Structure 1
């Protein structure tokens, strides 16, 4: 039997072994599930390297949870944030977005089966200010109409016309990460009049001003053409 045949046989044998299913039945899984149930999984939305130690220290300082918070590095740039109380976890989610060094932290709730290789972040919650609306259109119906174009509405602040400011609407929206952020939009009122409203995003970092997507800088944007001085020589 020549070496090529031997190598082929060994390859087939290895594939059969690798295909054998290993049953996992850890005795302490219930405890592990309890430990993970009050957890968020997060990643900084950036193409640059992150100083993980400094980032974790900053979040610990900002959240002020002391020993009630554990931050576990689980690889692939992911963190597992473990809390002691549901109220603590909810406060961190409701107070987002969080950031470090102009890198936006995207998070989602832990669930069974999540691993570094299958972790996907699709949305980020942001407070959006809607400017340019007439006073008579600052209503619940306007909230719903606008959020349907931007994402999923999570929360609405009290009606501006009934509070101490009536300059803009404030809506908390789950913004899709695969779509560019909208700066403005034409709208029409019930009388058919057409005008424009502007969108301003609160505590926004990591926005590419070329493609309007989050998570990379202009110089790393695939839509950005370098200036003549930056273009390589022919």
Structure 2
């Protein structure tokens, strides 16, 4: 997937990629997130983690617990005061294993944002368990796309009035893909755009040599 990203960076943005997607309505400014790394060999059990820390932290409001993979857990709080209380109580441990907490900007990485991004390129497919979509620094979605069009490399987005950015897309389990035009109907060896771009410089060098 990194190879695809590097090759596609050479191309200019398509009209779809360059069109700003407004995500301000999806921003949950009232939520505060802590990322926790559990230093243990076996996979952490999210339900057991929630049962353990709820009575220990005694937060004023509820918080969500989401699995980010690789024994990283995201705690999504409603109140910043609860976050401060948890951090002041460090260090924390779980089943005698060290747990390291760090502030994490999860306000823009949520289900609503992922759904908006998915719908901007195709038909968003709702997962059975929304928590499966969340990663440490990414959101994972399933989208039915029109394969007669180039795959979208990402989208320009607007987080708020003073903040624009770019969200890169990565794809899993792709078959043939053309790095020149982004279509899945052929690979780069059979792409007319690629052939023309390599022939043009060659012809120029021949003419220069004959002169």
- TM (normalized to structure 1)? 0.37
* Higher Rg: 1
* TM, length-normalised to structure 2: 0.40
